Amino acid sequence: MEKQPNLSPRITLHPDIRGGRPCIRGMRISVYDILDWLASGMTQKDILRDYSELEKEDIEAALRFVGERENKTQYLVS
């Protein structure tokens, strides 16, 4: 069984919210939504303006979560 990354209190996992994806503080905004927005060119300032319920620390927690998870991922090369 794969060990989950250390969850920040800002990252929540609930099976009834977004299919159990990691979300921000129990909201319907997932960690991966934040990554998609950043990847599309939005700045943290843009995200915080458009999603006033988010805080700067939420974005930072999402990035830490994904960084920890990626660091523990093993890839098979054939």
Task: Using the predicted structure, report yes or no on whether residue 64 has a pLDDT greater than 70.
Answer: yes
pLDDT at position 75, please? 61
Task: Using the predicted structure, report yes or no on whether residue 4 has a pLDDT greater than 60.
Answer: no
Cα(6)–Cα(53) distance, rounded to whole angstroms?
A: 23
Pick the CATH number of 11-72 from 3.40.50.720, 3.40.30.10, 1.10.10.10, 3.40.50.2300: 1.10.10.10
Q: 10-41, pLDDT tens digit by residue? A: 999 999 999 999 999 999 999 999 999 999 99
Which structure tokens are listed for 57?
């620390």
- For all residues of the chain together, what is the average pLDDT? 88
Cα(32)–Cα(47) distance, rounded to whole angstroms?
A: 13
Cα(20)–Cα(12) distance, rounded to whole angstroms?
A: 9
Which structure tokens are listed for 28?
């319907």
pLDDT at position 6, please? 55
Q: What are the two backbone dihedrals, phi and then psi, of residue 43, each rounded to the nearest 5 degrees?
A: -90, 165
